[in-house]
Structure 1
Amino acid sequence: MTGVLLSTYGTRGDVEPLVALAVELQALGADVRMCTPPDEEFTDRLAGLGIEPVPAGPPVRALMRAAAPPTAAELTRYRTELLETQFAVLPAAAEGCAAVVAAGLAQVAARSVAEAAGLRYVYVTYAAVNLPSPHHAPPPRPGWPEPSGVANETRWEQDAQRVNAQFREPLNAHRAALGLPPVANVRDHVYSPRPWLAADPVLGPWPDTPGLEVVQTGAWTQPDERPLPAELTAFLADGPPPVYVGFGSIGPAPDIARWSVEASRARGHRVLVSRGWAGLAVDDCFAIGDVSHQRLFGRLAAVVHHGGAGTTQTAARAGVPQVVVPIRVADNPYWAGQVAAHEVGAALDGPTATYEALTAAFETALAPETRARAKALAAKIRADGAKTAARLLLDELR
């Protein structure tokens, strides 16, 4: 039986695509274990699927729910500690495996661990914007300044320099202890010359870029057949399709949730508010917890969200218009831009959004022609990305 170690660190949006891959690998006979944050919702979910959980790093929910964002110095210390944890945990976790699949730039140690053990290494990202290309700028990275007024190529060079400043010295010290040569460009070392892109080729295509062989598999999702709670089902049946307002693990900018509710109601729509990790609540709104978005989104008038890859993908597959209000972090602004580019909704900049801008966004999203475009796009979205990736990985290992 082929063993595969999957590893990531982050919120549900980082973990769930790897869970989908793990399920498909298991169905093909592979033995899978997975490194995630130690939060019980991750370890319990994996154990329930028969996937061996390997906790690594501090709990991520506590970090996301902190009263104030971490400072740049705190983020630097946090990243360094995560690197040390990976070198302490991954070698034992990879024993008996043939491959290591690492998701996200935070997995700085994974390639070195795989290299030292002679294992196949695959780096995967969930959005094209995370990979270097002159066609786009690097995504915003927490704690690091975001330059403006310079070419994309220059911004990618600056991005590599910042990653080096954070990680090169400790990474190369660990590599020396493993008998491995030093690396000059940590970011591109982690990405590898042949990264995988787990994003839908229609919704988030890779722009052809010389020097990087990107394997785009489609987004990694799995069917979520959980029935909706009885109270929610009754609410949906008791009137016209509502607008969903939810921001997942992200705390939205002040007033955004309330403004979204007001803008929805001004157009005669009922509202569902998803509490999410931030415990979002708006007076006099039907509030929901963790439910199947796959079952819910097709019954909505629109989805207001933060621009996470998973939420954007699920809404696109459901053919529902979107209003994306991201904060400036990771791939959220990218997915907001993709929604706007496909004209299946509207996008705002969360930190600078105004009620007037949000109102205009609702006019766009709730227009009949927007819903028609969303339905047309839904017919093109693939659902077999995880299955495709699992087959490709095991074929390469054979």
Structure 2
Amino acid sequence: MRVLLSTWGSRGDVEPLAALAVALREQGAEALLCAPPDEEFAAVAARVGVPLVPLGPSVRSVVSGPRPPTAKDAFRLAPELVAARFETLTAAAEGCDVLLATGLMPAGARDVAEQLGLGYVYACFHTSGLPSREFRPAARPGHGSAGDESDHRALWEEDARRVDALYREALNGHRAALGLPPVAGVRDHVFGDRPWLAADPTLWPAHDTMDLDLVRTGAWILPDDRPLPPDLEAFLAAGPPPVYVGFGSMAAHAPQDIARTALETGRALGRRVLLARGWAELTPAADAVSAADAVPDPDPARAAAEHAPADFFVVGDVNHQALFRRVAAVVHHGGAGTTTTAARAGAPQVVLPRIVDQPRWAARVAELGIGAAHHAPDPTTDSLSAALRTALAPETLARARSVAATIRTDGAAVAARLLLDGGGGSGGSGEGGRRPH
């Protein structure tokens, strides 16, 4: 069996598909990954030996400008991605049996499966985009809802119209070129009747999805056995566990002055800080760095040892699974991957949500008692200190370690078995399969 895995989104959208590809390989199937052409994503695929076919523009080129992408940017990107899926997925799907799509509204993926007679599955890592009787839609480019509207079905119908405004013209144009009939509603067409949810049930519990038969597999976690760099090891060994602060690919959405605020907060609390550079290229402010800390050294490990116990360290891409077990707390944006990795490591969290699903991850972290939610967009030293005091409390650490024992690690294997058992449906229908739990 050969499975085509497709996404366009952040590392949190790509790495789970790499995990699923590995699980499929372990069960005797072959997987091919179509993902954005960012270097970081290619490195993830190469690390586990999964072939990667570039899809669309790089994500970093879209999100790493001086400001967050605008609605105008979204209306320009949407048809570009539709065209890229028809072109790239059609070529990559040769010899495949099933196409599984996730990431930013993958309009075009089901249509390629339909044209080629493949099974089709839509998967998501949270349910913020799925129509719900319990939650309002997240913000999306286009006309907003009336402020006094409270009926959830009406709100989700408005959300569907916003998706149509972004994608329908381009999608139906490509369908017509293939002799396929037009699609009336893009969002519901992409989701199908039985979307898959690849999220841990403790961290993202079930809720009432409107008119959907949701299939839960558990989170798709890619094991990481990379050693930590020697300079980072030296920093960790030079003092008590630091507080990790990072915002991943949230380049234009990172809180204002977060590097300075993090360092000042760490010093106010007597805590060392481990700052993740990320796509925002976070670095400590020059006037927050002591003269000794600012001296460059060609040997980072020696520098870390000589300046120990330095109170901060800047790190690039490293093994979070190993690192988070050795920090006092994780301050982050609330992406699905980072939240799950920190929870699995038993690390208390402070979540500063920025967009889409992140506020609900933040709320769940606080609800579980494994950390704190900081909903104000730009933290101050006082506000971040207050949140960190909650996260660093002994009872929070005890609760985080307790919850860590409940996090499932078999989600990718469950999903692979479903695909092999026929859960991908046929002819792009998205039907078939069984509910794993």
Alignment TM-score, normalising by the size of structure 1: 0.94
Code of the aligned partner of 2:392: L
Code of the aligned partner of 2:156: W
Determine helix, strand or coil for the equivalent of 1:396.
Answer: coil
Code of the aligned partner of 1:265: R
> Is 1:297 matched with 2:296?
no
Q: How far apart in 2 are the matches of 1:198 and 1:179?
A: 34
Percent of aligned pairs with the same amino acid = 56
Deviation, 1:77, is: 0.9
Equivalent position of 2:421 in the other structure: 395
Deviation, 1:64, is: 2.1
Code of the aligned partner of 2:318: V
Cα distance change on mapping 1:42 and 1:147 into 2, 3 Å: farther
CA contact (8 A) 1:37 1:57 kept: yes
> Is 1:101 matched with 2:103?
no
Code of the aligned partner of 2:94: E
> Is 1:377 matched with 2:388?
no
CA contact (8 A) 1:105 1:187 kept: no
Code of the aligned partner of 2:18: V
Determine helix, strand or coil for the equivalent of 2:365.
Answer: helix
Q: How far apart in 2 are the matches of 1:148 and 1:381?
A: 38
CA contact (8 A) 1:312 1:335 kept: yes
Render the CA deviation track for 1:274-304: whole Å, top value 9, x for unaligned: 1011111114421111111110111111100
Determine helix, strand or coil for the equivalent of 1:206.
Answer: coil
Equivalent position of 1:126 in the other structure: 125
Q: How far apart in 2 are the matches of 1:397 and 1:199?
A: 18
Equivalent position of 1:279 in the other structure: 281
Deviation, 1:316, is: 0.4
Equivalent position of 1:267 in the other structure: 269
Deviation, 1:47, is: 4.1
CA contact (8 A) 1:264 1:362 kept: no
**Which runs of no fewer than 5 residues in structure 2 stay unpaired?**
290-311, 425-437
Larger deviation, residues 161-170 vs 288-297: 161-170
Deviation, 1:232, is: 1.2
Q: How far apart in 2 are the matches of 1:210 and 1:73?
A: 30
Code of the aligned partner of 1:49: V
Larger deviation, residues 258-267 vs 80-89: 258-267
Q: How far apart in 1 are the matches of 2:70 and 2:342?
A: 33
Equivalent position of 1:173 in the other structure: 173
Deviation, 1:337, is: 1.5
Cα distance change on mapping 1:148 and 1:237 into 2, 3 Å: farther
Matches within 5 A, 1:179-258: 179-209=179-209, 211-251=211-251, 252-258=254-260
CA contact (8 A) 1:247 1:306 kept: yes
CA contact (8 A) 2:265 2:382 kept: no
CA contact (8 A) 1:126 1:198 kept: yes
Q: How far apart in 2 are the matches of 1:395 and 1:334?
A: 33
> Is 1:357 matched with 2:359?
no
Determine helix, strand or coil for the equivalent of 1:129.
Answer: coil
Larger deviation, residues 83-92 vs 352-361: 352-361
Deviation, 1:322, is: 0.5
Q: How far apart in 2 are the matches of 1:342 and 1:98?
A: 40
Alignment TM-score, normalising by the size of structure 2: 0.86
CA contact (8 A) 1:297 1:303 kept: yes
Determine helix, strand or coil for the equivalent of 1:330.
Answer: coil
Equivalent position of 1:38 in the other structure: 37
Report the number of matched residues: 396
Q: How far apart in 2 are the matches of 1:146 and 1:287?
A: 42
Determine helix, strand or coil for the equivalent of 1:200.
Answer: coil
Deviation, 1:250, is: 0.7
Computed over aligned residues only, the root mean square deviation of the Cα atoms, in angstroms, reads 1.9
Determine helix, strand or coil for the equivalent of 1:128.
Answer: coil
CA contact (8 A) 1:105 1:190 kept: no
Deviation, 1:142, is: 5.3
CA contact (8 A) 1:3 1:96 kept: yes
CA contact (8 A) 1:71 1:143 kept: no
Q: How far apart in 2 are the matches of 1:274 and 1:153?
A: 41
Q: How far apart in 2 are the matches of 1:48 and 1:353?
A: 36
Equivalent position of 2:348 in the other structure: 321
Q: How far apart in 2 are the matches of 1:385 and 1:146?
A: 36
Equivalent position of 2:72 in the other structure: 73
Code of the aligned partner of 1:26: R
Deviation, 1:92, is: 1.3
Equivalent position of 2:300 in the other structure: none
Deviation, 1:149, is: 4.1
Code of the aligned partner of 1:259: T
Deviation, 1:330, is: 2.3
